[in-house]
A and B are shown apart, each in its own frame.
Chain A
Amino acid sequence: MDHKRIVELEGKCTRDQPAACSAACPVHVDVRAMLAAIKAGRFTEAFNIYSKSVPFPRIIGSICDHPCQKACKRGEAGDALAIARLERACVQVVPATEAKVTAPSRKEQRVAVVGAGLSGLTAAHDLAKKGYPVTLFETGSSLGGRLKEFRAEELPPQMVSDDLAVLAKLGVVLQLHTTVGRDISFAALCQDYDAVYLGTGTVTPEFKLPLDQQGQLMIDPITFATAQEGVFAGGTLGRGGSYSPIGSVADGRRAAISIDRFLQGVSLTAVRANEGPFETRLFTSTQGVTSLPAVPLGHNSDFYNEEEASQEASRCLQCECLECIKSCEYLAHFKGYPKQYIRQINHNLKMVMGRREANTLINSCSLCGLCEAVCPEGLNLGEFCQEARGEMVKKGKMPPSAHDFPLRDMAFSNGEQCVLTRHQPGYQTSSYLFFPGCQLSACAPGHVEKVYDYLMKQLNGGVGLMLRCCGAPAEWSGRQELFEAELKKMKDQWEELGKPKVILACSTCHQMFKKYLPEMELISLWQLYHQYGLPQVSQAQRPALVAVHDACTSRREGQMHGQVREIILKLGCQIEELPTSRDKTECCGYGGLMQFANRDLADAVIKRRIDESEADYLVYCAICRDNFAAKGKKTYHLLDLIYGEGDPLAPAKRGPGYSQRRENRVRLKNKLIKNRWGDKMTEERDSYEKIKLIIPEDIQELMENRLILVEDVQRVIDYAERTGNKMLDGHTGHYLARFRPVSVTYWVEYLPQGDGFMIYNTYSHRMEIIEEVKE
């Protein structure tokens, strides 16, 4: 997969972005982590986190002008966090210790720092730490510049000297009472030193440095370089006189980075994004966050005690973007977030040898697009998963077990026994074509008949019928070639029918056709009911209230959502809206074939959705209905309501099992041909299909879970009884036999009973045993 595309996708997930407070901080203190430590009462840890970003933590912790607080998201729900006070609390609680200095490897080039204000001190500190011999020139008799303007209660002088002691340890040479331009010429300084940093607050004309139109020293805002090579400047000098302690620290630090780069002869400008304050892209929702005021200062008017600090820090929202994780069971299930997932998937695709650990991650996504709908940056992980599936299939690296069953089901739906494409009986042309979809035909074949009759009655010009699968399982599973072949068949037949308008009852078919057959004019069945009126039904049974679950493949069909609701209201039912619906609706666990690739996850998805309301659900996708009903949720299909078959008192009715669904499709075709077109059907059945099975309910359930069809069991018995290749389990007295039609070996434990066979157990495996059976 294209590297640029990966980077672009990863970039959309802002989960790794710093919190707003850290981004606003000129030196990017990890405020979140610091506050988490304070909340837990771990003040030393908090102070260490602070010291990591701040060179003189006791000084800055006491006087910081805290631009972070303005950016704090908590401000949207109460007061912003009192971050400066919390820093101060750390300074108060944690006893001063001597700074530990690790001796750097000494470098040859010498640096002069002019001015011992905060920017100069920081530049000297950072450069000395990198091993440069640094000389610090200061006009006055002490270090700190404007620090002495603070009251002693605010900033005790002892604290200043404690913090600045580190400079001597780093070997910074101090030249106090030395004014550059008077005691030593600027030109001489530039001659004697390999680089110069000016943190003087003001600049004298003697320096002969180019000024801008306002008479300010010209300083590059990124590199802090002046127009003279090797001379850098910052601090108040660069801010037109306004004083910001943390701003000065940041200037000194950034200038030190430039000086280091300058002396090493590397680019001054490369990779310098996000130095200094910036606006983060991290999204943090404050929706539903209870508003809380800042903790007031208690015992002491100057700083929080430990308890107050912990209490205040506990108001921190620990900003992070969880929008997609909160909304999607799948994304939460793998315990990471999209950016990580994209990396894992990309790694999986690029892997040559070893275990492809992200296969399940790739194949478990429902491709429902909810992540895109809730992501502030519109990241659609499903699209990426689907691309990944396509690539896996192309490379022959798609696990065969993941999608085998639904693809075989699709092949069955599009086999001769199920497909049908005809003009309306008595017509030679079609103005419309009804495409009910393979799932409605399987779950509720009776509804397909009723709807077709309705359409033929309402619409002029002939309503043709096409029974088949739209190919979604092929698309979902990354089988692009197979999918295109299916599309071509449908397109050819549609053209043969005279390009009629296509009426769709399934939102997945709707989504597929809209995307891949844009030349088709599509009409949703719900639009027609809405337009032509609902059929008259006598003795209709309908619930008084339903909660509407929109199909995930209808996410972008706002009109459809409205039409469905209007139909429900017209039928006399009240509507309850689920917490998420319409463009934010959730998948029922079937989308993207999740249910086949990761059964447990699909079960969790279904459970989450059906637990969202006590009310009975109303859906307009056959699979949504059956998936919810299978887990005991009373769920109606919209057609149940339209045709008055929604008995609110009856318990949740499970849909037909996989075998019955196949049977239903075949019967629907035969019945329609016989009853609507009056043609004779000769049902050709294979010999094994005549085998009568007695399957107890628990075994039926087991077969559903193990994806074993009645047909599979019949074929095993047919083979065993024909060839005599069977075993006897002496312990149970049951016969054991196996048969491998193509890629799966099915085992059946059975005994003859009457004119049929009693089934005791059945299981399967994909691994093949090389037998040398003498048949």
Chain B
Amino acid sequence: MSQQIQCLKCNVEMKLGPVEATYLNSKFPVQLLKCPKCGLVYIPEELARGKMLEVEKALEDK
């Protein structure tokens, strides 16, 4: 079995690619794992509870 993240719908390995993140009227481009076929994006826990949370808080206080 591959050690990577797979999109089960498309049965393909997810690859780093550009996506857009948005919160409170701010948008920014990020590189995240996404399915090359259907576009499904994966957010790992470390990102959600780390950097992402930090940015959320900063935007909330802006």
Contact = CB atoms under 8 A, between A and B. Distances in A.
A766 B35 CA distance: 22
Contacts of B55: 767
Interface string A756-773: 000001011111111111
A767 B39 contact: no
A765 B41 CA distance: 14
A770 B22 contact: yes
Interface residues of B, number: 38
Interface stretch (A169-177, A295-303, A336-344, A355-363): A355-363
Contacts of B42: 727, 736
A184 B38 CA distance: 105
A769 B45 contact: no
A401 B58 CA distance: 12
Contacts of B16: none
Contacts of A3: none
Interface in A735-775: 735-736, 738, 745, 747, 761, 763-774
Contact of A767 (B5, B14, B45, B56): B56
Contacts of B56: 401, 765-767
A322 B18 CA distance: 54
A714 to B, nearest CB: 19
A728 B45 CA distance: 15
A724 B45 contact: no
A769 B23 CA distance: 9
A771 B56 CA distance: 19
A738 B3 CA distance: 20
Given A356-B62, A726-B8, A766-B56, A773 B38 contact: yes
Contact of B6 (A356, A725, A730, A768): A730
A763 B49 contact: yes
The interface size bin for chain A is 35 or more
A771 B39 contact: yes
Nearest to A736: B42
A729 interface: yes
Contact of B39 (A727, A768, A772): A772
A355 B55 CA distance: 12
Given A765-B53, A765-B56, A774-B38, A730 B4 contact: yes
B1 to A, nearest CB: 5
Interface in A689-737: 723-731, 733, 735-736
A407 to B, nearest CB: 15
A484 B5 CA distance: 49
A400 interface: yes
A252 B60 CA distance: 56
Contacts of A240: none
Contacts of A764: 48
A761 B43 contact: no
Interface in B1-48: 1-9, 14, 19-24, 27, 32, 34, 37-43, 45, 48
Interface of B: 1-9, 14, 19-24, 27, 32, 34, 37-43, 45, 48-49, 52-53, 55-58, 60-62
Interface of A: 354-357, 359, 399-402, 723-731, 733, 735-736, 738, 745, 747, 761, 763-774
16 contacts: A357-B61, A724-B9, A727-B6, A729-B5, A736-B5, A736-B42, A765-B43, A765-B48, A765-B52, A766-B23, A767-B23, A768-B23, A769-B19, A770-B27, A771-B40, A773-B40
Given A764-B48, A767-B55, A770-B22, 17 more contacts: A354-B62, A356-B62, A357-B61, A400-B24, A724-B9, A727-B6, A728-B8, A730-B1, A730-B2, A730-B3, A736-B42, A761-B45, A767-B23, A767-B52, A769-B20, A770-B21, A771-B34
- Counting from the closest, the 4 A-B pairs by CB-CB distance are A399-B60, A765-B48, A730-B2, A767-B23
